[in-house]
Amino acid sequence: MPSTLFSPIKIGQQVLKHRVVLAPLTRYRADDQGNPTDTVVEYYQQRATSGGLLIAEATWINPLAGGHPHTPGIYTNDQIQAWKKVTDAVHAKEGIIYLQLWHLGRTTFSAFLPDKQPPVSASDIPVEGPSDIGLPYETPRALKVEEIKAITQGFAQAAKNAMIAGFDGVEIHGANGYLLDQFINTSSNKRTDQYGGSIENRARFPLEVVDAVAKAIGDDKTAIRFSPFSSYQGMKDDTPVATWGYITEQLEKTHPGLAYVHFVEPLIPDEVKEGEKVDTLDSFRALWSGPFISAGNYTYDAKMAFDRAEQSPNSLVAVGRAFIANPDLVERFRNNWKLNPYDRDTFYTPGPVGYIDYPFYNEKN
């Protein structure tokens, strides 16, 4: 009897043949204008499988979204046409590909924004500590309500552009300390209007973005990613289970036909004392009836991926670092083949090294 991990599941309009998903991974390989290059095309084609889902890297929805250098956009015709080469290459291998839509909010820098204007966020609270790219974080400007509405429509337009580029759907980036996550978390949202304070108010912006994107391209081509327990980029919420539980309940109520929801797993502690409470995604899984992608703990533990699929029949598992180093990860998981180790030093460097030069499996490896 085949394992659930390698059994079909429907997401949106597509029936997948397996449940091993390429997680969205920023790799800094776009050109200076935010266009995916030919090496990007090869990277995704290498990892495409018949009936397999790839989630393309975080992609800024417009210039005001604050993309870092060499990250891609989806708002110019050149960018759309460059992404079309990627989607064509994936579809040639009968793969499925979604695009992750991104607004960085307070985690970008004025140097990367039109007219060097300051970053924006829910409130004027900067991220503490150094940034990943060496620049000091700046104090953001709190968005006005009319600007929030404009950004919502920006996500919808980016979703339409993704359809023109040939993507099968889009994943709204509501995780990892970026703009929508900044509105959800109490650590970064101190607003006193309809977008701050209560859980319902802090959830309003991401839910409105889902509404707008689903209206623009259809529920069955729309998905969203969350990270309830992540502290990355200064995130912390007072009541994560209640907060994301409410969001999940609302999505189940208003958009049960979403292609999927995608949650980042909490870190597994090295030691758990007897009786100690451990964070899990179980409460959110219980609230969602559709496909549920989880990411975070499957990189070099195929057994965890197999077990998750068996325990949760509507689940898929997204893998990041191991998929970077193993373009044929799906077959390696299927056949229990040895995995290539990844080289962290080349995750974000330009060029093909550490990007499209990892070897496919052979018995001599």
Rounded Cα gap, residues 119 and 332, in angstroms: 42
Whole-number pLDDT of residue 267? 80
Domain ranges within the chain, ordered by starting residue: 4-346
Question: Does the annotation mark 178 as catalytic?
Answer: yes
C-beta of residue 68 within 8 angstroms of C-beta of residue 27: no
Give pLDDT < 50 ranges for the chain.
Answer: none
Q: What is the dihedral of CA 60, 305, 226, 284, to 10 degrees?
A: 160
Whole-number pLDDT of residue 152? 98
pLDDT digits (tens, 9 = 90+) for 99-147: 999 999 999 999 999 999 999 999 999 999 888 888 889 999 999 999 9
Whole-number pLDDT of residue 275? 56
Whole-number pLDDT of residue 131? 85
C-beta of residue 101 within 8 angstroms of C-beta of residue 88: no
Residue 81 structure tokens:
């046409």
C-beta of residue 244 within 8 angstroms of C-beta of residue 294: no
Tell me the pTM: 0.96
Of the candidates 43, 178, 246, 355, the residue annotated as catalytic is 178
Rounded Cα gap, residues 155 and 100, in angstroms: 10
Strand 292-295 relative to strand 260-264: parallel, antiparallel, unpaired? parallel
Q: Which residue has the tokens 């949760």?
A: 312
The average confidence (pLDDT) of the chain is 95
DSSP annotation of 125: -
Whole-number pLDDT of residue 67? 82
Q: The domain 4-346: what is its CATH number?
A: 3.20.20.70
